[in-house]
């Protein structure tokens, strides 16, 4: 990591041959499968996420803004996750249908993030363009207690950002939001609501 | 050895990375370099049509211009690796694309690298040229 940073900092021209290329291992030599299956401790993740929340909270005014900021942060992570997981899962195969992408998110992405598949994938009966992915016990917000004034806030907006990045990458632009929808036995159940753009629906119509 | 023009095109049809592999025997034809960009840009339309018909990432030879062929590889994030070549050798091109794809993912994983921005990493350039020497 250090060596690749150094090599980009020393150049002032755009010609590659002028850069001082250091010898030794660089990030480009590392195997992409090296951290496959690696896990992070929940405590470390909760600590990091709480700091992220505090940081963003100071810089926004309002719940919508906070969720938007978290969404953007998740988006940046999602872009990279999409390519990496696609490559690891089945290299040289992409998804071209909505259902395929949703299954990809429901199975692969959730398994990578939380070690298990998402709990349900549903299509809304009222609107053609809405889909819902639910998680009965979201790990990310397990240690977050939301005060009454901010009861509309769902910190899984970060996860919504990741999902939005996956959809965007596969060319299915959508608006993705996270909502708390408690049911019996699972008071923390979170639903990720995916609202696809009109162009996507039109394109899907062609393939029917 | 044939000459090749390789470009990585971002989501908004902007070039992220370009390189030419010209055999040393042939003199560099500066007047035709811009033509490569035009051909690849025109081929982008064809890619957009073809990519919805197949789930493969490697779309073989999708377009022709006089004696040049354009082959394309679409990544999961809709970034296109385009190769302009004048000889058909699908397998070696496929291997080349796969190697570059791996290096691209590694560059993308850098949190300081914005998707769709120029790749200025010198080592990436070296790796691409090395892959080209090996497979093309």
Domain count, chain A: 1
**Closest residue of B to A206, CA-based?**
B52
Place of tokens 């992405």: A109
CATH number of the domain at A132, please.
Answer: 3.30.1380.20
Contact status, residue A167 vs residue A103, Cβ threshold 8 Å: no
Tell me the residue range of the domain where A62 lies: 40-207
Cβ neighbours of B54 in A, within 8 Å: 96
Q: Is residue A7 part of a domain?
A: no
pLDDT of residue A164: 95
**Averaged pLDDT score across all residues of chain A:** 85
The yes or no reply on domain B4-135 and CATH 3.40.630.30 is no
- What the block records as the tokens of B86 is 């004048």
ipTM: 0.87
Query: B13 with B41: CB under 8 angstroms?
Result: yes
* Binary contact (B101, A87; C-beta < 8 A): yes
Mutate to test the interface with A, among B55, B60, B77, B111 (most CBs of A within 10 A): B77
Q: What is the pLDDT of residue A16?
A: 59
Note whether A112 and A173 are within 8 A (CB).
no
> What are the two backbone dihedrals, phi and then psi, of residue B46, each rounded to the nearest 5 degrees?
-65, -40
CB-CB: which of A84, A94, A170 is closest to B57?
Answer: A94
Cα–Cα distance for residue pair A144/B53, rounded to 1 Å = 45
Could you tell me the pLDDT band of residue A3, with boundaries at 50, 70 and 90? Answer: very low
Domain extents in chain B: 4-135
**Residues B71-105 pLDDT 10s:** 999 999 999 999 988 877 888 899 999 999 999 99
Kindly determine whether residue A76 and residue B111, on different chains, have CB atoms separated by under 8 Å: yes
Q: Of the candidates B58, B106, B111, which has its C-beta nearest A28's C-beta?
A: B106
Which residues of chain B fall below pLDDT 70? 1, 24-31
Query: Rounded mean pLDDT of A41-69?
Result: 91
- No. of H helices and E strands in chain B? 3, 5
pLDDT in tens, A137-155: 888 888 888 888 888 888 8
pTM higher than 0.80, yes or no? Answer: yes
> Which residue, chain included where needed, has tokens 């009454």?
A148
Counted across chains A and B, CB pairs separated by less than 8 A come out at: 88
Q: Is the pLDDT of residue A6 over 60?
A: no
pLDDT of residue B85: 85
Question: Can you give the pLDDT at residue A22?
Answer: 58
CB B104, CB B75: distance < 8 Å? yes
B contacts of A100 (beta carbons < 8 Å): 55
Most B CBs within 10 Å, among A16, A34, A89, to test the B interface: A16
* Closest alpha carbon to A70 in A197, A176, A145, A182: A176
Residue A153's pLDDT is: 87
∠A148-A53-A118 over CA atoms, to 5°? 85
**What is the greatest pairwise CA distance in chain B?**
42
CB contact under 8 A, A170 and B101: no
Confidence (pLDDT) at A8: 44
How far is A141 from chain B, CA to nearest CA, in Å?
24
Strand, helix or coil for residue A169: helix
Can you tell me which residue has the tokens 């062609």? A206
pLDDT band at residue A37 under the 50/70/90 scheme: confident
């Amino acid at each position: 990591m250090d060596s690749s940073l150094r090599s980009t900092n020393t150049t002032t021209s755009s010609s590659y041959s002028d850069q001082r290329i250091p010898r030794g291992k660089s990030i480009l030599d590392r195997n992409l499968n090296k951290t496959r299956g690696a896990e992070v401790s929940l405590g470390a993740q909760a600590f990091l996420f709480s700091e992220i929340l505090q940081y963003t909270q100071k810089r926004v005014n309002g719940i919508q803004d906070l969720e938007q900021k978290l969404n953007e942060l998740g988006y940046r992570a999602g872009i990279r996750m999409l390519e990496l997981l696609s490559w690891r899962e089945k290299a040289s195969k992409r998804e071209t249908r909505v259902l395929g992408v949703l299954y990809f998110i429901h199975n692969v992405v959730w398994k990578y993030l939380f070690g298990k598949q998402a709990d349900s994938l549903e299509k809304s009966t009222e609107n053609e363009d809405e889909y819902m992915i639910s998680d009965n016990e979201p790990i990310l917000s397990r240690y977050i207690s939301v005060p009454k004034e901010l009861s509309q806030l769902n910190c899984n907006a970060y996860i919504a950002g990741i999902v939005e990045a996956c959809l965007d990458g596969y060319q299915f632009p959508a608006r993705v939001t996270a909502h708390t929808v408690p049911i019996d036995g699972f008071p923390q159940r979170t639903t990720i609501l995916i609202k696809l753009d009109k162009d996507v629906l039109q394109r899907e119509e062609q393939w029917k | 050895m044939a000459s090749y023009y390789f470009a990585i095109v971002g989501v908004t049809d902007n070039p992220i990375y370009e390189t030419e592999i010209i055999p040393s025997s042939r003199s560099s034809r500066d007047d035709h370099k811009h033509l490569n960009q035009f051909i690849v840009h025109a081929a982008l339309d064809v890619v957009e049509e073809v990519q919805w018909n197949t789930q493969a990432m490697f779309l073989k030879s999708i377009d022709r211009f006089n004696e040049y062929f354009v082959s394309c590889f679409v990544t999961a994030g809709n970034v296109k690796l385009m190769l302009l070549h004048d000889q058909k050798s699908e397998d070696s091109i496929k291997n080349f694309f796969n190697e570059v794809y791996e290096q691209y993912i590694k560059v993308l994983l850098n949190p300081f690298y914005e998707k769709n921005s120029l790749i200025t990493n010198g080592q990436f350039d070296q790796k691409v040229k090395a892959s080209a020497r090996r497979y093309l």
